Structure formats: C-alpha cells, structure tokens
A and B are shown apart, each in its own frame.
Chain A
Amino acid sequence: MTAQSAAAPGAAAPKPPAQPGRWKGRALTGALMLPATLWYVVLLVAPILIVLVFSFGKRSRTGGYTPGFSFDNYASALNTADPFLTSLFLSVVGTALCLLIGLPLAYFIATRATKRKALLIVLLVIPFWTSFLIRTYAWLLILGPDGVAGFIGDLTGNATFRILGTEPGVLLGLVYGYLPLMIFPLYVTLERMDRTLVEASKDLGASRWATFRQITLPITLPGLITGSILVFIPMMGEYVIPQLLGYGQVYTIGNLLYSRFLEARNWPSGSALGVGLILIMLVVVTVYVWFTNRGRTVRDVSVV
C-alpha cells in the first residue's frame, strides 16, 4: 500500500510554485470558455429569468407586460390541464416509438452494417438538408385525401378515413421529425461498445435476451438517456407539427402558448404557462433519468 500511495500522483503534494505557463493555461481556458458561457448566460439563463419575472406581472393595456407581483397567472395556468396532458401523452408515446424504432436501427448500423455504415449514416442526415417546415408540409400531401389516407379509404371502403387531423397522424409527424435525434446518441454509444463483452456473455451461456438486457442495454444507457431527452423535450413544446398535421384538432400546450402570446398578447399569462411547461419537463426528465439509472447503480455495486 505504501508503495502504491508513493507512486500515486501527489494529490496532497505541495503545490508547485505558480508558473507563468500555468497562468497562461488558465487564461486560455477562460478565453475558450467565454463564448459558450456568454451564449448560455445571454440566450438561456437571461431569457428564463425574464420569463420568470414576466410570469408574476400583469398584461399592459395594449399587450405586453406591466410589472407587478401576483400569482393570478399561475392560478389560471392550473385551469389548463388538458393541453398539458395532450402534449405529455404525445411526447411520451412519441419518445417510446422513437426508441422502439431507433434502437434496433442504431444497433444494426453500429454492429452489422460494416461496409454500408457510412452510407446509412449519410442517409440519416440527408433529411436535414431540407427545411423542417417543408418536410412537414410534404406530409400534408403524402397523408392527405389524395395520398395514403385516400388509398386506405378506397381499400377499406371507408370514404371518410383520415390520418391528418388525428393523434396518430401527429405522432407520425413527431416521430419522423425527431427520430434521427434518438438514433445518433444511441449509435455513438453502441459503436464504442466493447464487442468482446457480448462474446464473453455468450461464451458463459447467457441467452440473447439476457445478453441484451445485462450487457448491451446498460452500456447503451447514456445514449438512451441523451436520445430520449433530446426527443422528449422538443416534442413536449412542439407547435408546428400538431398545428399542420393535426389540423388544430390536436390541441397541445404549444397551441395554447401561441394563443396566449400572439393572439391574446398576454405575455405574463403565457410566461406562467411557459414556466409550468419547464417545470413539467424538469420533473419528467429527472424521474426518467433517476428511474433508468437506478438499476445501473445497483449493478455497478454488485460488480464490485
């Protein structure tokens, strides 16, 4: 033990005298971090603080904001559970669907598609070359009465069959729009996975399912969590897809926020809803991360 601690890099060793090089290093680190720090402070922290302050204020006569302090906006936000629930339902189901579709695909690209790997990744990126709005508009034509819905309607003899303006239609748009954001983090973690662990598991007689559950899934977890959060959060606040593909029949929190800010020009009330939305996201994401990590901690301990 003594030999080991002697060999260990001196955590407790006296600090070396300050060198000009070290100071320069710090300055460099600071300079390099400055753009990102500014970015977050100006574009993330400050706006959230503004929203928070606005949410306690009052609407001025011509719209906008008048300073004030009341909880009225929050009280009225509590009366709007339905759109919150619709958004929550869509984003939870949408995230689950992305995971169901994304995980096998990411696994395939990372482990099986040796020669075509680059091609498949490029194919995943290609949709991003077209504007998000245009791609969503394209779905209007594809799924519309002259497209898939009409075709299915003809086949089944149900002339009123529709995909657009229904929750499944909106879900399809959401999954289409955000699937790549799920696949990429999964792919990165699966790509780095040590394949010998899987082989070892097989050698030791574990079934495919047991190997997946005990080896692949835990290793994929960081990517899975990142991907789920990347997909869940924008889905929760999504406005364009429900509005276009949902025909306004699927009324989400995004619709309500739009109405409060732009139609009613009631920024304080919209801000209170925004704070509510942020809180719900924080709670859901925290619970999710805690839940998915729980098993992992236990397993780590058991390994020791």
Chain B
Amino acid sequence: MTDRDRELEAMLARMSRAKVSRRGFLAGTGLAGLSAFIAACSGTSATASPTSATPSQAPAASAAAPSGEASAAASVRPSAQAVTETEGTLLMYNWADYVDPNNIEKFKTDFKVDTFTYDVYDSNEELLTKLQGGATGQWDIGAPTAEFVEAMVEGSFIEKLDWSKLPNAAYIDPQFQNFYKGDKADLNNYHLPKDWGTTGIALRTKDVQEDVKTWKDFFDVAPKYSGRIVVVNSPGDVFVAPLKALGYSLNSTDPGELGKARELLMGLAPHVLALDSNTYQDKLADEEAVMGLVWTGGIDDLRSKPETADTKYVIPEDGTLYWMDTWVIFKDPPHPNSAYAFLNFIQTPDIQAQETVTNRYATANLEAAKLVPQDLLNNPTIFVPADVLASGKLEGAQDVSTDPLRVQIWEEFSSSIGKK
C-alpha cells in the first residue's frame, strides 16, 4: 500500500467518524456504504472507531452500577431509582460510531438485553424530517444536538424525562443540563446531556507568526494569509466569529448586529480558500490552509504527528460556541424501561468516562470527568480549561440558522468565497 492509499484511507476513515461527518454535507450521500467499502478494501471493520482507546487508558472499569450507587453522588435526586428490569430490546437512533461498542456489550449483558439496534442518521435535519414524517414509535432513544430539542418538543416527538428513573442524572453539570434558559427552561426536562465541544481557530504556528487569540485577531490577520484560510461549511458556526468579535450574542437575529457581522464576513470571504466541513484537516496538514475556523475533529491527529505538531487549536477569548448532543427518549417508545435503563447506565461515571476516552468528546458528567485521563482533560480540542468554562464565554447555539436575514447573509458570503 502506498502513502497515497494510506492517505486516502485515513481521509475516509475520518469522514466516517462521528463529529466531522455528522456535521458535514455528507448527510445523505451514503457514508455507511462508503465505510462498508473501506472495510471490504482494508479487511478491517470500519465501524471500529479509529481512535478506540487502548484498554490501559481506560479508567479501572469496575462493574457498572446500574442502580446508580457509584461513589460520591454529589446531589443524588432523592427517591430516584434506576430501572433494572428491561424489555430485552433497545432501539437506538444515533450519530455513527457514537457509543463505545464495549459499553453496548456491557449494557446488553448487565440488563439482559438481547436485541440492541443502532440505526444511524447523518444530520439533525434527517432525524427531524423522519420524525415529522411520522416515525415516532420506531425507536426508543436518540441523541440530537441540543438546539433541536425545542423543535422536537414542539412537534411532540420526544417524551418528558422521568427523573425519578435516572439517579445518575445528578452527576450532570447543571450548566449543560440547563441548556435552555428563561421561559424555555422546561425544555431541559426533555434531554440528558451526552457530549459537547467547541468551535474555534486552528493555526499552523510555523506559518502564522501572530498570536491569534480572539475572533477579532482572526479577522485582523486574515488578509495577510489570504487564500490560505479554511472555514467549515456551516452557517451556525461561521456566524460565531463576527458576532463574537463584535461582542454580540452568537445567536443574535438583530438586524443591526447582523448587518455589522455581514461586513466582517464579506471582508473575510475573498481571503477564504475553501468552505469545507470534511477535509479541512487535510488542508491544514499540507499547509494549503494555515488558519481555520474549524471544529475540533481531526485537529488532535494533526497535533500528534511530528510534521504537523505545530498545529494549535485556540478557543477564542472573546467567546465562542459550544455544541452539545443530548440524549432524548422518543415519543411512545416501544421499550421505555430499556430506554431509561440505558440512559442511566451510560451516565454511570466509569462507563461515561470510557465513552469520553473512546469518542474523544468532552462529557457533561462531572463525576465521569474525574475518571478521565489527565492528558484528555488538558487537551483543548476535547475539554475546555476550567477558567474559560467558568468565565461564561461559551454560549450554546439556539436554532436560529433559519432566520431569513441570516440565510441571506450566509448565501451572500458562501457565494463570494475566494472572489476578489
């Protein structure tokens, strides 16, 4: 196998991996088939997570505690009692490769579940569209991105969670559980946080001399690196940069604020090399791009390779977006007991820590975080430093991507890429 082949295979392996592909355009282009093809070619299972943890990294995985008796329960909800008897079947609908296969096996053994199906969607829109098409009752649980919970509650596609069956929910960091604020706070009773991460700036420090610390810096140095900037093809993430650089909420729909954001974006557009959600890592790897507005996916790999070790991921100091995927139970689940049993099981601290090690996304489970290896906790592409988290600079996304003015600005921006 030549280097080229290996490169292509690595690229495809990444595509099939959770975060990058699931936010990317490959929605609906048949990644599953693609992975199967790779598997056939290489003789290895494509579903095996490329970053699967070595057993030694795993925190001493003691027996799972289905009853939630795990240590140091900070504030276990009184009277909460885990479900131990299941229907023997669980139907999950989720992003690809998003639950540690070992944990699934353990759940099946511990809870006597014989049938565990794992159906895959590529985008929140796909999930929402299926539900709008009447697919409730087809699955028990899923994990959409938090801003979609609102639309799902509005459409009566998901159940209000019965917290008395989820003792391990007590371990969840309240700032993630309380994703919805104000008069929308009741929506927080419909979801149980799974993983979260940030949108930020990637730099090849050997090419970019400036110390880019903020979105404002990003816009300031952009003309100097004209034609070498890569941006993810996702309006919700791209709007973060100008709005935060200007000091506004990243969810703003205020015409005045968006007007100013538009000016910044249109100033950036001529300098952008590509709108690319799937292979931005490759563009950074061969220095085709030296700066990027990116997700965390793949950046870790670059940092671990000697020739690209100068890659840096910056969480902008003027604030940025955090995304969060969150467990939900669909309306009229065919196997409600299995659903509650699984949600509680997966939030058992040692099980959840193993999830973090395998998936390499930050967990919202405070007890589990204590069991995660230190190098992962210190990795800015996975966890956010405690002081940044405490500063309130991170803002969750709301479902504003359909705001007409935002759509108009986005189309204007994305059709002006690279045009000087």
Contact = CB atoms under 8 A, between A and B. Distances in A.
B125 interface: yes
Given A247-B275, A262-B125, A64 B402 contact: no
A259 B418 contact: no
Interface stretch (A36-44, A95-103, A130-138): A130-138
B128 interface: yes
Interface residues of A, number: 38
A146 B8 CA distance: 13
B92 to A, nearest CB: 23
Given A138-B8, A165-B274, A83 B29 contact: no
A140 B279 contact: yes
Interface string A242-281: 0110011101000110111011111000000000000000
Given A62-B155, A134-B34, A249-B419, A263 B286 contact: no
A251 B415 contact: yes
A145 interface: yes
A131 B33 contact: yes
B151 A62 contact: yes
Nearest to B132: A64
Contact of B37 (A134, A240, A243, A264): A134
A145 B286 contact: yes
B25 interface: yes
B309 interface: no
Given A63-B128, A137-B12, A256-B411, A247 B417 contact: yes
A291 to B, nearest CB: 31
Interface in B384-420: 399, 401-402, 407, 410-411, 414-415, 417-419
Contacts of A262: 27, 123, 125
Nearest to B285: A146
Contacts of A256: 411, 415
B363 interface: no
B417 A258 contact: no
B348 to A, nearest CB: 34
Contacts of A141: 4, 7-8, 11
A140 B282 contact: yes
A248 to B, nearest CB: 3
Contacts of A243: 25, 233
Contact of B415 (A64, A83, A138, A266): A83
Interface string A63-99: 1100000000000000010110000000000000000
Given A145-B286, A247-B274, A251-B415, A63 B27 contact: no
Contacts of B235: 259, 263
B273 interface: yes
Contacts of A244: 279
A248 B417 contact: yes
A63 B34 contact: no
Nearest to B7: A141
B276 interface: yes
B414 A251 contact: yes
B418 A165 contact: yes
Interface residues of B, number: 46
A145 B288 contact: yes
A137 B128 CA distance: 29
B31 to A, nearest CB: 9
Contacts of A63: 125, 128, 151, 402
B125 A265 contact: yes
Contact of B418 (A62, A80, A82, A249): A249
Interface string A103-134: 00000000000000000000000000011011
Interface string B258-296: 000000000000000111100100100011100000000
A266 B402 contact: yes
A196 interface: no
Contacts of A240: 29
A255 B11 contact: no
A62 B34 contact: no
B27 A144 contact: no
A256 B407 CA distance: 11
Contacts of A259: 235, 407, 410-411, 414
A82 B416 CA distance: 11
A177 B288 CA distance: 25
Nearest to B155: A62
Most buried by A among B151, B154, B276, B418: B418
Contacts of B12: 134, 137
B182 interface: no
A264 B402 contact: yes
Given A133-B34, A144-B286, A247-B275, 13 more contacts: A62-B399, A63-B128, A131-B33, A131-B37, A141-B7, A165-B418, A247-B276, A249-B417, A259-B414, A263-B234, A263-B235, A263-B410, A265-B402
Interface of B: 4, 7-8, 11-12, 25-27, 29-30, 33-34, 37, 123, 125, 128-129, 132, 150-151, 154-155, 227, 233-235, 273-276, 279, 282, 286-288, 399, 401-402, 407, 410-411, 414-415, 417-419
Q: Which 4 A-B pairs have the closest CB atoms?
A: A248-B275, A247-B274, A249-B418, A62-B151
29 contacts: A63-B128, A63-B151, A63-B402, A64-B129, A80-B411, A82-B415, A130-B37, A133-B34, A134-B12, A134-B37, A137-B8, A137-B12, A141-B7, A141-B11, A165-B274, A165-B418, A247-B273, A247-B275, A248-B233, A249-B274, A249-B417, A249-B419, A251-B417, A258-B25, A259-B407, A259-B414, A260-B407, A263-B234, A263-B407
